[in-house]
Amino acid sequence: MKGEWTSEQELLASTLEDFAKQELEPDASALDEKEGFNRAAFQKMAGLGLLGITVPESYGGAGLGCVEATLAMEKMGAACASSTLSYLAHSILCVNNLSENASDAQKKKYLPKLISGEWIGAMAMTEPGAGSDALGLRTKAERKGDSYVLNGSKTFITNGPEASVFVVYAKTGSTKKDISTFIVEKGFPGFKVGRKLSKLGMRASPTSELSFENCVVPLANRVGEENHSVSHMMRNLNIERITISGISLGIARACVEYAANYAKERKQFDQTIGSFQMVQERLAEMATNAAAARALVYQAARAYDSGDRDLSLGAMSKLFSAQIATRAGLDAVQILGGYGYMKEYPVERYLRDAKLMEIGAGTNEIMRVLIARELLEGDV
């Protein structure tokens, strides 16, 4: 839409589109099949300044905001949603979190290698017994002199098998909110990356369990005050929900484009299937939903950048965009008929990848809980 973007954002969008077409799309299907990881693309993202997209320039980042980070997710998500999910875990869940909450010394120690792509980052909140109820986590960190000793386990951690640095949440007190954040390096004693988990979709984004058995973490690696991490967690979840919505927008757009092109070519009953009104209706609904989601997601991103940290707007953008991405995946498969169900065409991958958007970073149900809570408990 004319006037939607600044000239810098337009340049970023076209750079991202070219990058996604050249570096992500060609391998997306093969990496999905073998559950590979596009390490080379990560290195190239570093070259484009994408790995520290929201980090201030004074710390070597691009100094951009939530709008630009969402744009990156959208453009790359259309080509390879799973590589983009790994990029999100690195750049938002880990790097942005450190940029916002870590001390100057911690930023100077960790950000350069994360931004240059030498290290890949991850964030570990979820545990086998604590998913939606994130504050119910049980990994414990006990202070022993100048260190903390961590015990517990995490699961579903994006980039787990590839990461060198993990932002880890652990309990440091007796109440539900006594949570602290730690920076754990892969080589710390007592830390182990567990099983790599095989998945329905997002298969080029490696996921694993983690375990901490008397894992010794220096005091210098605690981020912020002890027992004060719930606010970090919530703030980072908000930007995560908005930026991850960009991946849903990318998937939805890929579905609309692929299905529309197919409908122009495929002939049945001596006419293109695009001439049938039922196919037209499906395409029109897909495109309208994608446009509506886009408007909502960028409204949330702009609000975030202007300092308005309205949690329910982020939740709405995550909920609506995830729903329309899955719907678009189903519709695209339907428009391609039997071919849509085959691995030779990308739409079945779009559908499998889209489903994660309704689960990761908070399920659709939890988004509804957040939105309803705001309506029922806040000033409407």
* Tokens coding 291: 């446009």
Q: What SS3 state is found at 168?
A: strand
CB nearer to ligand FAD: give 298 or 326. Answer: 326
Query: Contact between 229 and ligand FAD (CB under 6 A)?
Result: no
Instruction: Decide if 285 is catalytic.
Output: no
Angle at 62 between CA 61 and CA 64, to 5 degrees: 120
User: Which of 100, 228, 359, 374 touches ligand FAD (CB under 6 A)?
Assistant: 359
Q: What is the contact mask toward ligand FAD in residues 74 to 103, using x (rule: CB under 6 A)?
A: ---------------x---x----------
- Determine contact, residues 32/349, Cβ cutoff 8 Å: yes
Q: What is the contact mask toward ligand FAD in residues 311 to 350, using x (rule: CB under 6 A)?
A: ----------------------------------------
- Determine contact, residues 361/315, Cβ cutoff 8 Å: no
Cα(232)–Cα(102) distance, integer angstroms: 10
Query: Contact between 135 and ligand FAD (CB under 6 A)?
Result: no
CB nearer to ligand FAD: give 274 or 360. Answer: 360
User: Which of 38, 96, 126, 180 touches ligand FAD (CB under 6 A)?
Assistant: 126
Query: Contact between 59 and ligand FAD (CB under 6 A)?
Result: no
Out of 68, 240, 348, 358, pick the active-site residue.
Answer: 240
User: Which of 76, 123, 324, 371 touches ligand FAD (CB under 6 A)?
Assistant: 123
User: Which of 71, 107, 360, 370 touches ligand FAD (CB under 6 A)?
Assistant: 360
Torsion 340-21-296-92 (CA) sign: positive
Cα(113)–Cα(131) distance, integer angstroms: 30
Cα(151)–Cα(213) distance, integer angstroms: 5
Query: Contact between 239 and ligand FAD (CB under 6 A)?
Result: no
Q: How far is the CB of 322 from ligand FAD (least distance, A)?
A: 12
Element (H, E) at 350: helix 347-356
- Determine contact, residues 180/334, Cβ cutoff 8 Å: no
CB nearer to ligand FAD: give 281 or 365. Answer: 365
Query: Contact between 207 and ligand FAD (CB under 6 A)?
Result: yes
User: Any bridge partners for residue 149, and if so which?
Assistant: 142, 216
Cα(207)–Cα(202) distance, integer angstroms: 9
Query: How many residues bind ligand FAD, per CB under 6 A?
Result: 24
Query: Contact between 369 and ligand FAD (CB under 6 A)?
Result: yes
Backbone angles phi, psi at 339, to 5 degrees: -65, -30
> By CB under 6 A, which span of 69-77, 116-124, 240-248, 301-309 interacts with ligand FAD?
116-124
Q: How far is the CB of 41 from ligand FAD (least distance, A)?
A: 18
Please give the distance of CA 188 from its chain centroid, rounded to a whole number. Answer: 26
Backbone angles phi, psi at 137, to 5 degrees: -60, 150
- Rg of the chain in Å (alpha carbons): 21
Query: Which amino acid appears at position 295 of this protein?
Result: A
Residue listed under structure tokens 């001596």: 270
CB nearer to ligand FAD: give 93 or 301. Answer: 93
Query: Contact between 361 and ligand FAD (CB under 6 A)?
Result: yes
CB nearer to ligand FAD: give 197 or 260. Answer: 197
CB atoms within 10 A of CB 338: 8
Catalytic center residues: 240
> Residue numbers of the site for ligand FAD (CB under 6 A)?
89, 93, 122-126, 131-132, 156-158, 199, 202, 207, 356, 359-363, 365-366, 369
